[in-house]
Structure 1
Amino acid sequence: MGLLSQGSPLNWEETKKYADHIRKHGIIQFLNIYNKVKDRQRDVLKWGDEVEYMLIEMDEANEKVRIVLSGGEVLETLQEQGEKINPNHPTLWRPEYGSYMIEGTPGQPYGGTMSEFNTVEDNMDKRRREASAALKPNETLCTVTAFPRLGCPGFTKPEYRPTPVEAGVSRSLFFPDEAINTHPRFSTLTRNIRHRRGEKVVINVPIFRDQKTPTPFVENFPEDDGEGARAALPDHIYMDAMGFGMGNCCLQVTFQACSIAEARYLYDQLATFCPIVMALSAASPFYRGYVSDIDCRWGVISASVDDRTPEERGLKPLKNDKYRIFKSRYDSIDSYLSSCGEKYNDIDLTIDEDIYKQLLDGGIDKLLAQHIAHLFIRDPLSIFEEKLNLDDENESDHFENLQSTNWQTMRFKPPPPNSDIGWRVEFRPMEVQLTDFENSAYVVFVVLLTRVILSYKLDFLIPLSKVDENMKVAQKRNAVQEDMFYFRKDIFKGKGGEGVFPGLIPILNCYLENMEVDVDTRCTILNYLKLIKKRASGELMTMAKWMREFVSQHPQYQQDSVVTDKINYDLLRKCDRIATGQERCPELFGEPINRFK
C-alpha cells in the first residue's frame, strides 16, 4: 500500500501549506539516491508477488455473507507468529486499505533460478493456510477482487451505518468509515482527497442491462443531501467513496533489475502488457449489489482516488490551480522511460517545469526528469507532523510520499537509501484470482515475460496513446473474447521477424526449451501457461465471466441486474469451496495437476 509512516496526520489545509516543502525535499532525496546508485550494476534478478485478501463471514443460518472488519487483529496475530519471532519466516503480512483486508507476500524475494517457479504456489498456499488459521470458525479468507455487495446495507460484520455528514471521513452514503483500516494514513488519504477535490469522489459504472432492468435505471438515496443525485448518472451504478476502489483486491509483481537501464527497459516493455494481462485476469463484474457492464476494477479505483479539482479536470478555467491534469492519480503511465521508448511518447505530458529544470541541472536525463516532474505535479495527500523535517541524505519519505500516491499501471522504484535493494519495477494492473493455482499462473507468466524480453531483447513498444486505448478496451465486458487490442507484430526489432508475431506462449515455450529446467518445474510452468492460453482463447472463462454465468443461472436471479444477499452467499460459498480445494471448477481452470492437495 505504499508509505506507512506513523505520527500525527495533518488535515488538508495544513497539508497544502507544506506541499511545496515536501516536493522540494522529495526531489533532493531523489537526486541523492540517484547519484549514489545510478551506476550500480549486476544486481541479481529478484522478484516477488503481493496478494490481497478479504476476510469474510459465512452466516449459514441467514444465508448471508459479510466482510469482517478484523483485519487489524488478524494482521497482528500473523506478524506476532511470523516475522517478529523469525526474520526468515516464509511469509510477510501487511495492512491494506480496508479493515477487512490483509496483504501477503513471500518472506524473501524469489531469485533468478527456474526452480523458483515451482515454489510460488506452495508459498501462496502457506499464506492462505496461515491466515485462515487466525480466523474464527465461520470466517474464511477470500481472494475475490470486488465484494459483490460492498456498500449494501448490512455488508459488514460488525454492522455499521455510513456517516454521510462532514464529520465523517468519506461522507459516503454507502461505505461506513469503520470499514477503513485504522492506520491514520488511510483515513487521512480518504478525507484529504475529498477536501482537495472540493466534493466527494464520483464513481459511475454502467449497469448491465438485463431483460427486467428498469429503463432508465435511476436510484433514490434517502440520506442524500443532493450531492449524490447530482453526481449519479442514469443507467449507472453510483459510488461515492475511496473504499469502493481501494477496498478491492489485486495481484501485483515487483522485479529487481540488474541496473537502472534494465529497469527502465522493463518498465516500458511491460507497460504495453498491462491492458492485455488485465483483461486476461478480469474478475470484478459486480458493484454495490448490481451486475455492471464492466469486468475490471481499474476505472472504479481510478475514480475512487481522483483528487483533481474542477479546474484541473478542465471543467473550469485555470484560476487557483497551476495545471490542467488529464488523468486521476491512479491510471495508466504517461511516458516511457527508455531511449527506445522515447519516439512512442505521444501523450501530452504535464510537468512541473521548475522541477524538470532542477533535475536536468542535477544530472538526470530528459526522459527520467520528465517522468519525475510529471509525478510531482500532484500534491502530497498525507503528511505526518513528525515527518516534516528529514535527513535528505539518508531518508526518502518525502519522495515516497508522492511516488507512492501516483498509483499507475507500472511503478519505477529507485532503491531505498543505504539499502542493498536495487532498481525495481512493479507490475500493477492484475485482478486477484480465486485460487493459488491461478494467482501463481499469472505471476509466473509475467515473470517469464520479463526473462524472455531481456534474453531476446524483444520490443513490444507501441505509441503510448494506443496503450491508453487498450486500457479502456480491457475493462469492457468479456474484452478477452469480444474486443481487439493494438499490439506490435515485429517484436524482434527487424531481426528476421518480418512482422509476423509468433504468439507469446510459443516464445515462452521456445525460451523454456533452451533453459535447464527440471521435469517437475517444467510440468508446473506448462500447467500455468496452459491456463493463460485457454483463458486467451476462450476455452476457459475469466473469473468475471464465470461469476456472471453463476448469477444469471441462479434460481433467485430476476434478470433485473440485482445481486441479492442469497445470490451473493451462494456465489461466495462456491468460491470458497473452489479456493480451498473442496470443489472442482473445470470451466475456470481446467484440470491442472495440483501438487499440494
Structure 2
Amino acid sequence: MGLLSLGTPLDWHEAKQYNEHVRDNGITQLINIFKQHSKTRLNDKFYWGDEVEYMLVDINDDSKTARLSIDKDYILDDLNDPEKPESYNKAIENDVSFHPEYGRFMIEATPLKPYNGDFICDYIYVEKNMIKRRKISESELPSNIKPLTLTSFPRMGCEIFTSPNAKPIGPASQSLFLPDEIINRHARFPTLTANIRKRRGHKVAINLPIYPDVNTKLLDDSIPKNRDYFNSDLEPWIGASKPGFVYMDSMGFGMGSSCLQITVQAKDISQARYLYDSLAPLTPIMLSLSAAAPIFKGFLVDQDVRWNVISGAVDDRTFIERDEEPYPGYDFFGGLDVEEEVKDHMNNLGGGKGINGDRIINEFGDTNLKINKLTKPIQKIPKSRYESIDNYLSDEHYKFNDKKSYFNEIYNDIYSPINEKIYNRLIESKLFDPILAKHFAHLFIRDPLVIFNERINQDNELSNDHFENIQSTNWQTLRFKPPALYPDGENLSEKPGWRVEFRPMEIQLTDFENAAYSNFITLVSKAILKYNPNYYIPISKIDNNMKIAHKVDSVLKDKFWFKNPKLWNLKNSDFIGYDLTWFDRFINQGNDELINDKVYLNGYFEDPLNIEVEEETPDVGNSDENESKLTVNEIINGNNIFPGLIKMIIKLIATDLIPDTLKDNNHCNLNELAGDLLTLQQYLKLISYRASGKIPTIANWLRNQVLQSPLYNQDSKVSDELNYELIKKSQIISDLDFNHPELLESYFGKSLASFLKSRQAPTINGISNGH
C-alpha cells in the first residue's frame, strides 16, 4: 500500500503548501539514487517475490451471513511485535511477513525473504509459503473469521456488510455506502481518503454497467435520496451517478479490493527497462486471464474485473484536469489554490472545456492557468493515478545478444503530460536519457497526497521518502522500482536493486492458483530475458486492450492487439516439443524411442519426425504490419505457427533450470525433482486451461453460481443469503475441501482437481497442519 511513516499527517489544505517541496526534494533523492546505483548495480541476481492480499470474513453458519470483519486487525500488530513471541515467532520461523492494507478487514502477506529465480525448488516453495501465510493468520483468528483471497466482496456497500455493523456517516470518505470504520487505523489511510476528496473538490464517482437480466431494473436503487449529513450527499443527484450503472462514491470500493502482485529483480537498469517494456503488452492479457470480480455493491455488473473501480477510487483529478463540466455550484479547480482572476476568467467562459485545445501552450501539456504562488501550471491529465502505463522506458541501452534495439518513439503515442521543471533537472544531471526523464517527469505531475509533518525535512543523501511519496502513489499496471539510498560502505549487492512490479492481476481463491499465476509471470519474465522477444506495440493499443479486458468473458470472446508474430524475433521451430507433455516425457521413461532419450529433454530441436514447421503467421484478421489481433489462448498457448508464452517457459525450464547433471542422464531420476516438475506442469496447465476455456475464470464461475442459484431472482442483485452461499463456496474452494468434490471439479476441472486431491500439505512450524 506504499509508504507508511510514523507521525502526524497533514490535511490537504495544510499539506499543499509543501507540494513543490516534496517534488523538488524527491527528485534530488532520485538523482542521488541514480548516482549511487545506476553504474554500480551491473549483475544482480534474478530474485523475485509476491504480495497476496486477504479479506477477513466473518462467516456465521447459524444466521447464514457473511460480513467483512473490521475489528480483528489486531492480528497485524501481534504478528509484527517481537514482544509477543507466540505470534511473532510463527511468522518469522515460517518465513512470512505481514503488512497492513487499506481496509481494516484486510491483511497483506509476503515471503520474508525473496525467492531465487534460478532454482526450481523456490518456484515450488511459493505455494508452500502462501499456505503458511493463510494458516498462520487463521491461527490468530476466531474460528468464524476466515482470511479469504477475494478480489471484491460482493456486498461491500450494502446495508449491513461489516462485523460489527457500522454506519456510513464518516467524515473522511463522506460515503453514502461505506463507513470510515472499514479504513485502516493508521493515520495515513483516512488522511489519504479525505485528501483525495479534498484535492478533487468532490467525491470520487465510480459507475459500473449493471448486468442486464430478465427482471433487471437498470437503476441503482441503493442510493439514499434524503440524506443530508454532508453537502456531498447531493452529488449522485446532480451528475455523479448514471442511469443503468452501479454508483460508488468512496476510495474503499477500489482500495478495499484485493490483488496479486509480483516483483522481479533484473541484473541492471537497462535489463529492467527492457523487461518493463516487454511486460507492458501482457498487462491487459493477464488482467483478462485472472478476472475475478463480476459483483459490486450487491449487483452483478456487466464486466469481470476490478481495475476501473480502483482507478476511479483514487482519482484525485479536479474537473478542470479531467476537462469536464463541474456539477452545478462546484468549482472547476477543486482543492487547488488558483489565482482569483483565473477563476473569474473561467467562470465568465461558462465552462471548463478547452484544456485540450487552445489553452495548451507547450509540448509538456501545460496551460496558461497557474496555481497561485507555486506557479505550477494546471494540466489536462487524461488518466487517474491508478491506470495503465503511459510510456515505455526504451530498450536502447540493453545489450541483446544478436539483435538491435526494438524500441521506437512512435510506440509512446498517447498524450502524456510531464513536469517540465523536473524533466529539465533530470536531463541536466546527465544521469537520465530523455525517455527515462519523461517517465519520472510524468509521475511528478502529481501532488503528494499525504505529507507527514515530521518528515517534511529529510536528508536527501540517505532518505528516499519524498521520492516514494510520489512514486508509490502512481499505481500503474507496472512499476519501475529503483533501489533505495544507503550509507557509504553498505554492501549494495545484498540490497534490492532495479526491479519491475507487475500489478494488474486479480487475486485467486486458492494458494495453488496464486502460486501458479505468480510462477507464470516470473517465468515469463525470465524467458523474456533469455529469448529477447519483441513485443512492442503502441501504448494506445495497450490502453484499448485494458478496456477489452473488462468485458464479460473477454478471455474467450475477444481478441487483443499484440505484436504481429512475424516480428517477435522468435523461430517457432526452436520451441517445437516444449508443450505441457514435455514434463511427462522427461519424468517418465519408456515412450521415447524416436532417436534417443535426449530428444525429449531438448524438445524436438533435431526434428526427429521430420516435422515441417511453418514460419508464416496465420490470417488473424484486423492486422497491420506491426500488430495483430490475437486471442488470449493464442498468446498463452501458441499454435503450430508461433510459440505461445507457455512453450517459452517450458523450454526455459528444460534448458536453464534443470540441473546440468540431469541433462546428461536424459531423464529425471530424482523423486523430489520429479515431483517439483509435476507441480510446475500443473501450474502451467491451470494458466493454459483458463486461456483455452477448459476451466472457467473466477469471474465466469462466480457469475454462473449467481445465475444458477435458486436464491437469485434474475434481477442482477445478490442478496444477503446469496452472498453467504457464494462466500461458503469460496471458502470450500480456498480450503480445497474435497468433501465437496463436485464443487471442486466444477471450479478446477477433473484433471487439476485430481492432482490437488492427491497432494500432501506442507509442515508449518508452530501451528497445526492445514490443508
State the TM-score, normalized to the length of structure 1: 0.97
Aligned equivalents of 2:66, 2:271: Cα separation in 1: 46
Aligned equivalents of 1:86, 1:50: Cα separation in 2: 15
Q: Deviations over 1:212-266 (max 9, x none)?
A: 0014555541326321222110000000000000000100001111100111111
2:471 to 374, 389, 403: 403
The answer as to 2:505 corresponding to 1:430 is yes
Aligned equivalents of 1:75, 1:45: Cα separation in 2: 30
1:414 to 482, 485, 491: 482
Which stretch shows the higher mean deviation, 173-182 or 216-225? 216-225
- Pairs within 5 Å for 1:130-529: 130-163=136-169, 168-215=171-218, 220-222=223-225, 223=227, 225-230=233-238, 231-315=240-324, 316-317=352-353, 319=369, 320=371, 322-338=378-394, 339=396, 340-343=406-409, 344-363=411-430, 364-418=432-486, 420-488=495-563, 489-490=565-566, 492-493=568-569, 499=617, 500-517=641-658, 518-529=673-684
SS of residue paired to 1:182: coil
Residue 79 (structure 1) aligns with: 80
Which ranges in structure 2 are unaligned for 5 or more consecutive residues?
325-351, 356-368, 372-376, 397-405, 487-491, 573-614, 618-640, 659-672, 762-770
Q: Deviations over 1:13-54 (max 9, x none)?
A: 111100000000000000000111001111111000000000
Aligned equivalents of 1:87, 1:342: Cα separation in 2: 47
Which amino acid counterpart does residue 468 of structure 2 have in structure 1? E
Aligned equivalents of 1:351, 1:204: Cα separation in 2: 28
Aligned equivalents of 2:567, 2:414: Cα separation in 1: 22
The answer as to 2:685 corresponding to 1:530 is yes
8 Å contact from structure 2 (residues 78, 88) kept in 1: no
8 Å contact from structure 2 (residues 195, 450) kept in 1: yes
Q: Deviations over 1:299-353 (max 9, x none)?
A: 0000000000011001225545611000000000000002333431111220011
Shift in alpha-carbon separation, 1:26–1:174, aligned structure 2, 3 A? same
Which amino acid counterpart does residue 288 of structure 1 have in structure 2? K
8 Å contact from structure 1 (residues 220, 229) kept in 2: no
Which amino acid counterpart does residue 389 of structure 2 have in structure 1? I
Post-superposition offset of 1:271: 1.1
Higher relative contact order (CA 8 A, sep 6+): 1
Percent identical among aligned pairs is 47
Residue 58 (structure 1) aligns with: 59
- Pairs within 5 Å for 1:546-557: 546-557=701-712
What is the CA RMSD across the aligned residues, in angstroms?
1.7
Post-superposition offset of 1:581: 1.7
Residue 95 (structure 1) aligns with: 100
Q: Deviations over 1:399-446 (max 9, x none)?
A: 000000000000000101115211111000000000001101100010
SS of residue paired to 1:234: coil
Post-superposition offset of 1:459: 1.6
Residue 19 (structure 2) aligns with: 19
Aligned equivalents of 1:407, 1:72: Cα separation in 2: 24
Aligned equivalents of 2:649, 2:10: Cα separation in 1: 49
8 Å contact from structure 2 (residues 220, 247) kept in 1: no
Post-superposition offset of 1:490: 3.3
Aligned equivalents of 2:88, 2:37: Cα separation in 1: 29
Shift in alpha-carbon separation, 1:121–1:359, aligned structure 2, 3 A? same
Post-superposition offset of 1:116: 1.0
**Aligned residue-pair number:** 594
Which stretch shows the higher mean deviation, 224-233 or 327-336? 224-233
8 Å contact from structure 1 (residues 218, 235) kept in 2: no
Aligned equivalents of 1:426, 1:507: Cα separation in 2: 21
SS of residue paired to 2:4: coil
8 Å contact from structure 1 (residues 71, 102) kept in 2: no
2:745 to 586, 589, 594: 586
Residue 38 (structure 1) aligns with: 38
Shift in alpha-carbon separation, 1:292–1:6, aligned structure 2, 3 A? same
Post-superposition offset of 1:77: 2.1
Residue 67 (structure 1) aligns with: 68
Which amino acid counterpart does residue 356 of structure 1 have in structure 2? Y
Post-superposition offset of 1:510: 2.5
8 Å contact from structure 2 (residues 533, 570) kept in 1: no
Which ranges in structure 1 are unaligned for 5 or more consecutive residues?
none
The answer as to 2:730 corresponding to 1:575 is yes
Which stretch shows the higher mean deviation, 383-392 or 361-370? 361-370
Aligned equivalents of 2:6, 2:73: Cα separation in 1: 15
Which amino acid counterpart does residue 276 of structure 1 have in structure 2? I
Aligned equivalents of 1:228, 1:459: Cα separation in 2: 46
Shift in alpha-carbon separation, 1:216–1:194, aligned structure 2, 3 A? closer
Post-superposition offset of 1:162: 0.5
SS of residue paired to 1:562: coil
Which amino acid counterpart does residue 264 of structure 2 have in structure 1? F
Shift in alpha-carbon separation, 1:83–1:502, aligned structure 2, 3 A? same
SS of residue paired to 1:490: helix
Aligned equivalents of 2:275, 2:190: Cα separation in 1: 34
Which amino acid counterpart does residue 504 of structure 1 have in structure 2? L
Post-superposition offset of 1:504: 1.8
Residue 360 (structure 2) aligns with: none
Residue 47 (structure 1) aligns with: 48
8 Å contact from structure 2 (residues 94, 129) kept in 1: no
8 Å contact from structure 2 (residues 531, 570) kept in 1: no
Which stretch shows the higher mean deviation, 575-584 or 361-370? 575-584
8 Å contact from structure 2 (residues 57, 148) kept in 1: yes
Aligned equivalents of 1:449, 1:531: Cα separation in 2: 15
8 Å contact from structure 2 (residues 168, 176) kept in 1: yes
Aligned equivalents of 2:173, 2:140: Cα separation in 1: 30
SS of residue paired to 1:253: strand
